[in-house]
Amino acid sequence: MIKQLDSEYKDTLLYELDGEITKEDVDIIGEGIEFTVKEFDKVNLMLCINISGQSFSALAEELKLGMKNWNNIHKIAYLSDKKQLDALVKLDNIFTKFEEKYFDVDDIANAWDWIIK
């Protein structure tokens, strides 16, 4: 399940993901990116993640979304208490043009500092 939260920065989209990520969840993020890019050159994403898994169709859609918005995404901050995401984000960051970084859920202040710079 996905929930968009209010962000004080108009070029930064804030989402909370809980349970299993679905293709529909990824579509919602894609729509948010498209809407934001119309007003700003680049978009940042802050994703608060408490997931139990991800469907294959969601993973495929996520890859397409990243490729489609390769030049539109500036940074993605992942907030979670699942430490294994840190290694996945570091690995993924090697293959992306945009910056990605993992933050512990209790480190939200540093995540905001990083994403807005």
pLDDT of residue 92: 75
pLDDT of residue 46: 96
pLDDT of residue 57: 66
Domains of the chain: 2-116 (3.30.750.24)
Give me the residue label for tokens 């108009």: 10
What are the residue ranges of helices labelled H in the chain? 23-37, 56-68, 84-94, 108-116
d(CA 56, CA 53): 10
Using 70 as the pLDDT threshold, list the residues of the chain that sit under it.
52-61, 63
pLDDT of residue 53: 63
Paired with 53 in beta bridges are 20
* Beta-carbon contacts of residue 52 (< 8 Å; ≥ 6 apart): 19, 20
